[in-house]
Amino acid sequence: MEEKAFVTHVKGIYCRQCAEVIVGTMLQTRGVLDAAIVYLRAELTVRYDPEIVTEKKIRDRLDACGYPSCEKGAPGSNPILNALRHPLRRAPGK
């Protein structure tokens, strides 16, 4: 079995639970062997079997769970700024 690694940044992460959703989704994808995310960098690493799943399928799964793949530094790829802008956060002084 050949094994490859796919590394990408992810948009929309604003908390650690977001990272858990992404990893969980990846681990439920047929052909994915392992997945890990560095929360503060929004950087996802996926080890996969290219005979079963493709990078495109991995990207499609990310899109489907609401966290699209992106380049480093793309708008929406900074978890700290996302948390500050998140619509559910309380307004200052309340």
List the domains of the chain with CATH numbers: 4-85 (3.30.70.100)
* Per-residue pLDDT tens digits for 1-34: 799 999 999 999 988 899 999 999 999 999 999 9
Report how far residue 27's alpha carbon sits from residue 14's, in angstroms, rounded to the nearest whole number: 20
* Per-residue pLDDT tens digits for 37-92: 999 999 999 999 999 999 999 999 999 999 999 999 898 888 888 888 866 654 44
pLDDT score at 90: 47
